[in-house]
Structure formats: structure tokens, C-alpha cells
Chains A and B, each alone.
Chain A
Amino acid sequence: MTHYLLSVHGPAEMEEFGGYPSREAMEQSFADTGRFNDQLKADGYWVFAGGLQSATTATLVDGQGETPVVTDGPYLETKEYIAGFWVIDAPDLDVALKLAAEGSKACRGVVEVRPFDGLA
């Protein structure tokens, strides 16, 4: 089995309905994502998942020097940032891609699938 990070990207600043066109759309997506999560758990693929606060809430810490330097984040200035992710445990990439497609449909976003080099 291999662990994969399934990440979803979203805009830096969330709009009123978290990037969804309406409250109904947002609630529907949340419900679909919740069902998808339950299915991941039931099928034994689930390791961990979560949604993140907007990228503007990120803080950078560089502790390589004598005293840590703390600055306002995020690390990279781009238009889109990781908005949430799943960590799954799947037998191979085909299974991971199939789950990613379901997750993408549920959360209404493009999902990036990336294998872990290892888990601590």
C-alpha cells in the first residue's frame, strides 16, 4: 500500500460561501464531501483529512538561525493555495486516481494526487 496526498487548491481569500456560488451549493458540497469521507473510512482508505483556513492566515517561521524569524505568510505568492487535503492509503495509483475523481466531484475542485515518500 502507498500513501497519497490528495490536495485541493482554492483562492487566497475565500468569498462569503467559501468559493461556492451560493449557500445551497456550499452546503451540498459539504454534504457530498462528508459522504465521500465516510465511504473512504468504510473502505479502509482513510488516513487523515482536513480543510484549511485561508492562505492569508498562514505564518512563516525560519528557525535555522540563532533566533527564529517570524513573518506573515504564505510561503509562495500564487493565485491559488491548498485549501484542503486527504491522506489516503491505496494499493496503487489507479485506485488513488479513482478516489481522487470522487473527491473532486464531491468538493467541486481539481484534486492533485501525489505519493508520499514515506510516513513517519
Chain B
Amino acid sequence: MSATSSTTAQAIERVFREEYGRLIASLVRRFGDIDIAEEAAGEALVAALEKWPQQYPDSGVPPNPGAWLTTTAGNRAIDRLRREKLRDDKHRQAVDMYDDTPHESLGVFESNEDDRLRLMFTCCHPALAPEARIALTLRLLGGLTVEEIAQAFLVPETTMGQRITRAKKKIAAAKIPYRVPAPEDLPARVATVLAVLFLVFNEGYLASGDGEPVRSELTGEAIRLARILHGLMPGEPEVTGLLALLLLTEARREARVRHGELVRLDDQDRGGWDRALITEGHALVRECLAINRPGRYQLLAAINAVHTDAPTAETTDWSQVVALYDQLLTVDPSPIVALNRAVAIAELDGPEVALAQVDRLVETAPVLSSYHALHATRADLLRRLGRSTDAREAYDAALAVCDNTAERAYLTRRRGELV
């Protein structure tokens, strides 16, 4: 393959990935079957790789690639159904629906957007196991391959393949619906979708295992899907809040790791933060404030807005941060939120007050002792109080349960610097 044609193939695959969620979603609506949709989409890609370079020699991509792929995939699915002469009623109905949508309109009509929203709710249905929700969302809406998802979550490809197959089988057999939930169920169901996107982002932002400390393909994908969801549900403040949170966190990504070592927020080079993402995130946070229906993600976003608003670590408005954590505790009274609040308290009232709170917290929530951030926080507070022996023990405890290479490097250095 020549350099030009391999670049063209890459461009086609990029467009395909970009269009994948939309394509699958519309095929699932039309044929009522995820497997048929995936297979037809795959065939459409093969056809695109073959025909686009000939038909569109200049750009290698047709003017409306989404419509091309949707039409081609639709025809392939019809062909397959005819070929197999499936007698199943559902499939016959699907074939009968052939040509109900003129292909010129595909990709621009609103119903197409609704398709993706429906598919998100199907993929993130509470009846599916949480890890299956993540895998299905990345596969069907993100267009990631099974191999890519397996690598991202450090499981063998066969395991990930089985997980996805089993989930798709459950969707079909148990008839998990393909629709936007009823208004009374919407808040709970939206929360499930947001949790999936947040988990994908976090696995990218603080990646586990021995590989790269940050997996930008996962943070990027989570943001892309959050943007789509925000576009589909602009009036849901928690959706806006999640997008803002992801953007404001992503904005600091480049400054967060230096020479393979984690850089804490107060040590980060703020000039290295992505101002465009911060501006966008701040605007979204203001949007949330105007709606005035606070929730978990909105409050987390607001906390990140305070941090990214400060030109230096010293000028951070810590009382505002603590006030937001107090509000967050009322909607999400988890020990992890309380731990993060204590970190802010250290800045406001000093490390001694914070340490007392952290230690009280462990007594009431022993589950925290397996959480690396608890030990890392204690270690830092003890170090600041000059209690080196205790700090060393805490660094050891943090290192024993920490699974991110950059954070391990940071903790190891800090431990070594104790006197």
C-alpha cells in the first residue's frame, strides 16, 4: 500500500469512527437488532475503503460520509436479511420498513440524534452489569474496537469480547428497550449514563496498571460522549455539570504529569493549563448556576472552577471550596467527599485540624483504608506537621494500594525526601 492510500485509509477509518455511534444507533432503530447493525456497519466500512478513494479522489471522503455509510449499511443489512430469509417477525417488519427514510435526510434530522440518545440509555441500562455498560457504550457509541476497550481496561480481549457479547444477548433476550426513559425515571437513568462517562474518564485520567499514567484516548472519548449527551439533553443541569467537570479536569492534564511523575495541583505550572477548555468549562458552570438545581457533578465542576479560576495556588478561594464540599456532602454523603473536604480544610485551617478530621473519618468509614488517596493525604498532612516517622508509614501504606505509575513515582520521591 502506498503512503497516500494508507493515509486515505486512515482518514476513512477516522471518519468511520466519528460516525459510528450515529450509524449504529440508526441501524438499531431500523432493524431492532444490535448484531445486525454492527455487522452492516462493518460491511459499510469495507465498502468505503474500497470505493471512496476511487469515487472521491480529492479528499477520499464523500461530502456527507454519514449518509453514505447509513445508506450502504442499511442496504447491506437488507441484503443479509433477504439472503438468510429470516422468518422472524421482527426481521420481516424491518425489511418491510425498507426505504422508509430517504437517504438525503440522514445525518441532519433530529430523529437521528434521538437514536444516539436511545442507544446511550440502552447501553447504560441498570439491568446490565456496570462493567458491561462501560464496554457497550465505548463499543457501540464510541466506535472503539473490542481490542482497544480490552487494552484500556487491562483485561484480555477474549474476556472483554465475552462481556460485550453477553450484554448484547441480555439486551435482546430480556428486551431491554431502545428508548429515552419516561420523565419520572429520567433523573435516575441519566445518572447511570453520567456514571459510565465519568468512570471512562477517570480510568483515562488516573489509569491503573503499569502502562501510561494517563490514557488520553479514554479521557477524550468520555468528553466526546459527554458533549454528544449535552447536545442531546441541554436542559439537564447534571449533564452540563459533568461536561464542565470533565473539561476543567482535562484542561490540567498536560501539567499534571512531569517526567512520569504526578504533579499536585498546587505545584502545577498553571501556564500549561488549557485556557480554551477552562473558558468553556467556566461558561458551563455559570449555565448550571443559572438553572439552580445543583447536583453532584455540577458541584464537582464548581469546585474545579474555583481551582482553575485562581492564577496561583496561594490565591485559591479555599473557603469557597470548603463551602462547595459542604453542599456536595448533602447530595453525596460519601467518605471520599469528606476526605476531599478535609484536604481543603488543611489549606483553610491548617494540617492539624485536617488530620484530626481524616483520622475521625477512618474510624467511621474503615473502607477508606484500602483507598490510596486516604494514605497519600495522611502522609502529606503528617509531613507538613513534621511527623516524619508517621508520614513514612503513611507513604508506605499509600504505595501499597496505589495503582498508577505517576502517582507511585510522586509518593516514592516524597517518601525519600522525608528527614
Query: Is B173 within 8 A of A94, CB to CB?
Result: no
Query: Is B174 within 8 A of A94, CB to CB?
Result: no
Within the complex, what minimum Cβ distance (angstroms) separates A92 from chain B?
4
Q: Name the residue on A nearest B182 (C-beta).
A: A94
Contact of B176 among A93, A114, A117 (CB under 8 A): A93
Within the complex, what minimum Cβ distance (angstroms) separates A21 from chain B?
30
- Residues of chain A contacted by B181 (CB below 8 angstroms): 94
Query: Is A2 within 8 A of B127, CB to CB?
Result: no
Q: Name the residue on B nearest A94 (C-beta).
A: B177
Against B, the Cβ 8 Å flags (1 = close, 0 = not) of A94-120 are: 101100000000000000011101000
- Compute how far the CA of A92 lies from the CA of B90 in the bound complex, rounded to whole angstroms: 14
| Main DSSP-derived SS at the B contact region | loop
- Compute how far the CA of A69 lies from the CA of B173 in the bound complex, rounded to whole angstroms: 35
| Main DSSP-derived SS at the A contact region | mixed
Q: Name the residue on A nearest B181 (C-beta).
A: A94
- Residues of chain B contacted by A4 (CB below 8 angstroms): 174
- Residues of chain B contacted by A91 (CB below 8 angstroms): 175
- Compute how far the CA of A37 lies from the CA of B181 in the bound complex, rounded to whole angstroms: 25
Against A, the Cβ 8 Å flags (1 = close, 0 = not) of B161-192 are: 00000000000011111000100010000000
Contact of A115 among B125, B173, B177, B185 (CB under 8 A): B173
- Compute how far the CA of A97 lies from the CA of B188 in the bound complex, rounded to whole angstroms: 14
With A93-B127, A97-B127 known as contacts, the answer to whether A117 contacts B177 (CB < 8 A) is: no
Within the complex, what minimum Cβ distance (angstroms) separates B257 from chain A?
43
Contact of B177 among A93, A113, A114 (CB under 8 A): A93
- Compute how far the CA of A115 lies from the CA of B174 in the bound complex, rounded to whole angstroms: 5
Query: Is A117 within 8 A of B173, CB to CB?
Result: yes
Query: Is A115 within 8 A of B127, CB to CB?
Result: no
- Residues of chain A contacted by B173 (CB below 8 angstroms): 115, 117
- Compute how far the CA of A115 lies from the CA of B181 in the bound complex, rounded to whole angstroms: 20
Q: Name the interface residues of A67-105: CB closer than 8 Å to any CB of B.
A: 91-94, 96-97
Q: Name the interface residues of A1-32: CB closer than 8 Å to any CB of B.
A: 2, 4
Q: Name the interface residues of B118-133: CB closer than 8 Å to any CB of A.
A: 125, 127
Against A, the Cβ 8 Å flags (1 = close, 0 = not) of B111-144 are: 0000000000000010100000000000000000
Query: Is A92 within 8 A of B127, CB to CB?
Result: no
- Residues of chain A contacted by B175 (CB below 8 angstroms): 2, 91-93, 115
Those 3 A-B pairs whose CB atoms lie nearest each other, nearest first: A92-B177, A92-B175, A115-B174
Excluding A94-B177, A117-B173, 18 further A-B contacts by CB distance (< 8 Å) are: A2-B174, A2-B175, A4-B174, A91-B175, A92-B175, A92-B176, A93-B125, A93-B127, A93-B174, A93-B177, A94-B176, A94-B181, A96-B174, A97-B127, A113-B174, A115-B173, A115-B174, A115-B175
A-B contact list, 14 entries, CB within 8 Å: A91-B175, A92-B175, A92-B176, A93-B125, A93-B174, A93-B176, A93-B177, A94-B176, A94-B177, A94-B181, A97-B127, A114-B174, A115-B173, A115-B174
